[in-house]
A = this chain, B = another copy of it.
Amino acid sequence: MAGNGFLGSALSVVNIGLKSFHEALGQQGAASIHVDWKPPAASADILSRLDTPDVDAANAVALARLTSAQPTLMDVARAGDVVPGLEPGLLLHAGPPVTWDRMCGPMRGAVLGACVFEGMAETLAEAEKLVRAGKVRLEPCHHHSAVGPMAGVLSASMFVWVVRNDGPGNTAYCSLNEGLGKVLRFGANSADVLRRLAWMRDVLGPALHKALAASGPINVRNLTAQALLMGDECHNRNVAATSLLVKELGPALLKTRLSKAVIRSVLEFISSNPHFYLNLSMAACKATADTILGLPGSSIVSAMARNGTDIGIRVAGLGDRWFTAPAGMPKGLYFAGFGAADSNPDLGDSTISEVAGIGGFAMAAAPAIVQFIGGSPEDAVTHTRRMYEICAGRHPQFKIPILDFAGSPVGVDVRKVVDSGITPIINTGIAHREPGVGQVGAGILDAPYSLFEDAARALAGART
């Protein structure tokens, strides 16, 4: 690890399992500790088939793509106009595919709210009839170059961030953030929730579209890199990044012909929501991660997403295929009046953050986040340190000051997960389990081990 440690304790790496990784670290001049942990016999067999120079070479390509991405905000546009295949009658949702009968409460709430918002139904009850009759198509955001936080429901009339990865030229999309509490993405769907969505469609989205036309593209990677120096991890803490974005958007809005009243309403809406940056960051992470989708031979995770019923991952070398397991239950802090019994299982595409090396992986940069999700600043550092164990490398731009500006861990290697038994840490919001309620808290959890073993086994199988 980079240089000397913080508070006099030398930074070190705990290596568990395969000595080859330990030795590789040693060659890079890093201190590491080898712990004898043996994966199950079946896993050991998988690992022996994946611990090969060609997988290493493919992963080096994957790491280079993940760390050289230049996600750039190009536009804010109506989803139906830009998101590939997002036709009327189709709703996108978070996570791997899921049918209505297996769909969790908050995602059902969001789907029904979106049906009413799109004018497909007059009431929530009518919407439910339509959905049950199979008259509303439901597909994952991830299948349309998009991501969505929590329920992640995206419909044609909503506006999205349009983020292009300069160089490769691929583009990704994410909705605009509604704020905290009683909002569609947490399953709320009352009239005030839909009124806010209408304002976002009629005022916020078009205003941001005009602002970006006036300002030109905005480099999202630089905003994230700065925010990590300012105590954000850009998944569950976005206060610095949102503030930096406001500094860009204010003058841009003032270059347009919009009235001062409209500009003010837009700036007040954004400024009052410290998570506004999240969705932009997610689009940037999706634009980054999609560059390794289908990279032959690579054991790096290209997507991790939850639909509130299942959690799924994709691995670069296996293309579009999802590996799933039951979604876990976050541990965290609850808003007043709510508790663990209200909590829905883990939900949302926002884990694209961790795939791209921020969020839970960069938590050491954001010690103040523990006020929102629980735990201590020391825990935050420990989480980041553990993630170095399962990642292919460090991000050259995403630096963590208190770790002597070490780059954040990036590129989850399913081999290392299987080898170490360490799984990705996830920062997340917590939705109420019933439709119509909304957010009840925020917390963290570990992704389930079986996902990574399944994916590693499939990758090993694909090579024989």
Interface residues of A (CB under 8 A from B): 3-9, 226, 229-232, 239-240, 243-244, 246-248, 250-251, 254-255, 260-261, 263-264, 267-268, 271, 367-368, 370-371, 376-378, 381, 401-402, 404-405
Q: Please tell me which one of the listed residues B4, B226, B267, B402 contacts residue A402 in the complex, with CB atoms under 8 A apart.
A: B402
Which 7 pairs show the lowest CB-CB distances between chains A and B?
Answer: A243-B243, A367-B401, A254-B264, A247-B271, A229-B368, A368-B401, A230-B231
Give the shortest distance, in Å, between A52 (CB) and chain B (any CB). 37
Q: How far is the CA of A250 from the CA of B173 in the complex (A)?
A: 28
In the complex, 7 of the A-B residue pairs with CB atoms within 8 angstroms, ordered by the A residue number, are: A6-B377, A9-B9, A250-B264, A254-B267, A260-B260, A370-B401, A377-B401
With A6-B7, A6-B381, A401-B231 as contacts: A264 and B246 at CB distance below 8 Å: no
Q: Chain B residue with minimal CB distance to A229? A: B368
Cβ distance A4 to chain B, nearest Cβ, rounded Å: 7
The contact of A230 among B239, B246, B378, B402, by CB within 8 Å, is B239
Which chain B residues lie closer than 8 Å to A268 at the CB level?
Answer: 251
Interfacial chain B residues near A229, Cβ < 8 Å: 231, 368
Contact B251 A264 (CB under 8 A): yes
B residues less than 8 Å from A244 (CB atoms): 243
Most chain B CB atoms below 10 A, which of A3, A226, A267: A267
Give Cα A264 to B214, complex, Å. Answer: 13
A8 to B376: give the CA distance in the assembly, Å: 11
- B6 near A378: Cβ-Cβ < 8 Å: yes
